[in-house]
Structure 1
């Protein structure tokens, strides 16, 4: 039997406590097997970087629409990547930070002037300041996010996850079609 040194026991205990704390704080409340509370495990190899993680704050944002047979019409960014709303943000204030924002990166902009195309209603476009000082694009008051596992433009893998993540419909509400 191998005996641990006091430093090894302390490190192991700290690691176990940290893991339990993280599980308690971010537990999967619906019993699903999607890997985490936000639909993906941001530490797993399958969790890819945001569709345009580095580009989200690099320039002005642009909103347009896409359509597919399963979900109908929904909002996308200027590169065609799908945009989602997070139902806990109902009051218009972003609440997705840290591990959540790793799995669901916000759509950021460096200017309040957000371009629009398709059937996007330009009067519903806005911005909100995040706690880190960045500016997140909103639509009808809803802060907009990407899903990190959407690897290609038009993918909708985040639709309906945890019953709190939905495609953003051009009308300004959650698109729950195909959910």
Structure 2
């Protein structure tokens, strides 16, 4: 009877585990919004780029125009916006400000580029989002997109 019960429960257990795997990227998009964020310049294998206070790489989306985000809900699940409730501290000359997104959150912008994380970056210094779909690039200290690999 126990073996039979285990066989019956196995599909439910596997479905539950699979569901957990698909929700992981969305958790990054639904993080608690900090009161303030920090953007600074750090050295990377791509040269000097923008990072947050923990050293995570910040990216720009080439479809964004006029400091406005073109990244919809599906996009944000993979590319969470750098958001803050009130301010963004600019360190090391990283002149950053907040703009209101369509969902009413406040997203950090550097020059013309709204800033995002990539869920594939696990630790400070990762640049796994660099060049994805030829639309996502790290932002250099001068506000230009880093187009090298």
Which interval holds the TM-score relative to the shorter structure? 0.7 to 0.9
1:101 aligned partner: 76
- Checking the alignment, whether the CA contact within 8 Å between 1:72 and 1:177 is kept in structure 2 is no
Work out the CA distance in 2 between the residues paired with 1:58 and 1:150. 20
What does residue range 14-163 of structure 1 map to in structure 2 within 5 Å? 44=22, 47=25, 49-50=27-28, 54-55=31-32, 57-69=33-45, 71-111=46-86, 113-120=87-94, 122=95, 125-163=96-134
Offset of residue 141 of structure 1: 2.1
TM-score w.r.t. length of structure 2? 0.78
User: Could you say what the CA RMSD is over the residues aligned between the two structures, in angstroms?
Assistant: 2.1
Unaligned residue ranges in structure 2 (runs of 5+): 1-20
Tell me the number of residue pairs that the alignment of Structure 1 and Structure 2 aligns: 129
Secondary structure of the corresponding residue to residue 109 of structure 1? coil
Query: Between Structure 1 and Structure 2, which shows a larger proportion of helix residues?
Result: 2
Work out the CA distance in 2 between the residues paired with 1:83 and 1:129. 18
TM-score w.r.t. length of structure 1? 0.65
Work out the CA distance in 2 between the residues paired with 1:156 and 1:133. 28
